[in-house]
């Protein structure tokens, strides 16, 4: 489970992606909408091995794949390089939510390399739970994982453990900056969420459940650090707005 310390650093997984995708065939052509993509943009993708492609080369493809450009087969070939550029900061557009949604459209779980993609996703979430600030913004990453997968429940469960200061910091930031009260319920505000999808429903249930508030209560009993206690109290304040009958929130640290 992410946060347990059992995961390789995500940068280590990234460094091995190209080798893991060694069997993915290099495309000899890429179909694209002529109104949206120039012949030159396609040609550069076909002219170099994927390891030689830079962010400028792949930006348009990464934005348009599985919509107006490309197929699942060629996305499989380019995926290791796209993910490497994306999660090292070299590719600052498209947003990671779009990148992972394209993986879903390509049915990445059917690929022979699905295991290493899952490992990368878990390693990225482990970084959220063990490093503050994390490399990826937790709100964006959680949404991206929700675009790629059928469930984010394991990530929410690991976050609820609140066993690290990073997890506590990120929860507070997420609740303050990336959650809003709408129609009597807390919901994530990232515009890339699919509100009809199961991952979105899981996050909404998690935000509004007594179990999440109780997890914060338990975290209060495990620390005497004044800063962490304050962060936990702020998180509790956000979560209790949806339940007028909830227990009194834990006391803030004195002094």
Neighbouring residues of 85: CB distance < 8 A, sequence distance ≥ 6? 54, 55, 58, 91
Strands (E), the chain: 179-182, 185-188
pLDDT at position 244: 44
**pLDDT at 211 > cutoff 90:** yes
Lowest mean pLDDT among 5-9, 179-183, 237-241: 5-9
Cα distances (Å, whole numbers) of residue 165 to 68, 89, 95, 203, 228 = 43, 24, 27, 21, 7
What is the per-residue pLDDT for 6? Answer: 75
3-state secondary structure of 32: strand
pLDDT in tens, 80-120: 999 999 999 999 999 999 999 999 999 999 999 999 999 99
The answer on pLDDT for 250 being more than 90 is no
Enter the pTM of the model. Answer: 0.91
Q: What is the pLDDT of residue 4?
A: 52
Amino acid 64: pLDDT: 95
- Tell me what percent of the residues of the chain surpass a pLDDT of 90: 87
To which residue do tokens 């590719």 refer?
Answer: 91
Q: Tokens 């303050």, residue?
A: 176
pLDDT of residue 1: 54
Using CB atoms within 10 Å of the CB of residue 170, give its burial: 0 to 12 exposed, 13 to 18 middle, 19+ buried: buried
């Amino acid at each position: 489970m992410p946060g347990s310390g059992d995961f390789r650093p995500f940068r280590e997984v990234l460094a091995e992606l190209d080798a893991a995708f060694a069997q993915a065939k290099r495309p000899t052509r890429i179909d694209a909408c002529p109104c949206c993509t120039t012949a030159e943009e396609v040609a550069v993708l076909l002219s170099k091995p994927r390891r030689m492609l830079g962010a400028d080369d792949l930006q348009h493809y990464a934005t348009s794949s599985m919509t107006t450009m490309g197929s699942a087969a060629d996305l499989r070939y380019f995926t290791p390089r796209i993910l490497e550029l994306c999660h090292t900061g070299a590719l600052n557009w498209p947003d990671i939510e779009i990148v992972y949604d394209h993986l879903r459209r390509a049915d990445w779980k059917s690929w022979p390399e699905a295991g290493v993609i899952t490992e990368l996703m878990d390693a990225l979430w482990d970084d959220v739970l063990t490093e503050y600030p994390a490399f990826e913004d937790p709100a964006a990453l959680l949404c991206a994982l929700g675009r790629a997968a059928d469930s984010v429940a394991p990530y929410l469960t690991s976050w609820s453990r609140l066993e690290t200061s990073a997890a506590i910091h990120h929860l507070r930031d997420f609740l303050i900056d990336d959650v809003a009260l709408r129609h009597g319920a807390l919901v994530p505000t990232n515009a890339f969420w699919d509100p009809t999808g199961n991952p979105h429903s899981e996050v909404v249930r998690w935000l509004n459940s007594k179990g999440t508030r109780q997890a914060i209560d338990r975290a209060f009993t495990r620390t005497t650090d004044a800063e962490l206690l304050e962060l936990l109290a702020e998180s509790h304040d956000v979560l209790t707005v949806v339940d007028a009958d909830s227990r009194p929130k834990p006391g803030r640290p004195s002094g």
